[in-house]
Amino acid sequence: MKPSLIILITHSGYGGAHKSYSRIADCLSSQYNVICLAFTSISPFPYSLPSAIRYLDTGIPSIFNFTSLGRFFWRVFRLSWLRIKHKPHFVISLLEGSDYVNFLSFGPGLSISSVRGSFFADQELVRYRKIRLYALSLIYRHFKAVITCSASLKNELVSNFSLPPSSVIPIPNIYYQSDVVNTHQAPELLEHSDVYRRYYCFTHGRLCIPKNQASLIRIFSSLSERFSPITLIISGSGPLLPSFKDLASSLRLGQEDLSAVPDEHLISSVLSSDANLIFTGYRKDVAGLMTISSCYLFPSFYEGYPNSLVEALQAGLPVITADFLHGAREILDVPLDASLTYPYLSQAGYLLPIPASDDTTCHEMWAGKVIHIISNPDLQRRLSQGALNRSKQLILSNNCAKWIQALSSLLSPEGLS
């Protein structure tokens, strides 16, 4: 009989991070009876899980549901009960909120944290920062190990939380061969002037400050005047959509919101639009949008290990990405400690400075590289093939096996030493 393992998920909604959770659970189910416990859940779980995996939510009784503190202590009790009942070998918490519950619960099982993003870069986590920094320092030292999604994030944790390097294990997200879909198999698709009425650039992610889509809108305001016809497609939902629309209006950038268009009609609606900026709303499957695009743009201020950038590589899309904290260099196979001169050309695309809202020099660099890629079909083909090659390298790294090996090492008498 396989041993048990509990994975704590703060929220089971859609998104790159939640896709990663399901991949980790899927991977570990080959060796463990996996129980996924979600604090806030969407039913059914939005990503496919093997039938062997039990998916539960905390099911908060009304007596505990009046305050956030009541909900927190109910989650601690619920997890403690599951630990006693199932006697897991491991309890793995994903994201900070579940770390506290994991730490305060009791019962069998080694506690492990899986850190998916930067504590110091996230400006949305400023409140009570010093208190939280102290609390996390205690928690991380109490846990048997901290598994993080990038080597640069490991360096941050070791430096700022005084953790032994051997206790922090970098394991990037899990990818499969079936993820790779070359949307540019036909060479003529790269020469969009012969196929479509316009050139398209694509970005994908939640509409929020860290993703920095506002800078892309500003870049395209000047780009559309210099190079036409061109359209920026922004796929995703979030609280900043109204402000993005206002920004586009103030820049006199033609825009269209296709959020209400059904998936089956989205591509035809995009191709028939004359707008320079298109909002598609949230779309679970963006392969079609990548198919019509010439390049993928990723201007984030910071990330952990962004799945959307890897998905662009898997689609064979040339990328232009900001050199943000954590993830970009590892995904594009650029040395972490290298001193780069921008623009830096990798096998799959360009690494550029983060485009701040008022940095017109940086905006010009981004606009210039967009024009350079879409104006050079030979370069597009070379970067497209480089993107596919790099995506296959990420698959061959077999990060699922690294998870299994890390947990096996923790159970050995020597631990990770």
Around 353, how many Cα atoms within 13 Å sit in the side-chain half-sphere? 13
Q: Which residues of 360-383 are buried (b: 16+ CB within 10 A; e: fewer)?
A: eebbebbbbbbebbbeebebbbeb
> Taking the complete model, does pTM exceed 0.75, yes or no?
yes
Q: Retrieve residue 415's tokens.
A: 């631990």
* Cis upstream peptide for 353 (omega within 30°): no
Give the pLDDT of residue 194: 47
pLDDT tens for each residue of 311-326: 999 999 999 999 998 8
- Tell me the pLDDT band of 191, cut-offs 50, 70 and 90: very low
Q: Is the pLDDT of residue 53 over 80?
A: no
Give the pLDDT of residue 124: 60
**Domains by residue range for the chain, with CATH:** 4-172+397-411 (3.40.50.2000), 178-395 (3.40.50.2000)
pLDDT tens for each residue of 270-296: 999 999 999 999 988 888 899 899 999
Rounded to the nearest 10 degrees, how much is the dihedral formed by the CA atoms of 273, 274, 279, 281? Answer: 0
Q: Is the pLDDT of residue 182 over 90?
A: no
Q: Is 80 helix (H, G, I), strand (E, B) or coil?
A: helix
Rounded CA gap, 276 and 350, in Å?
23
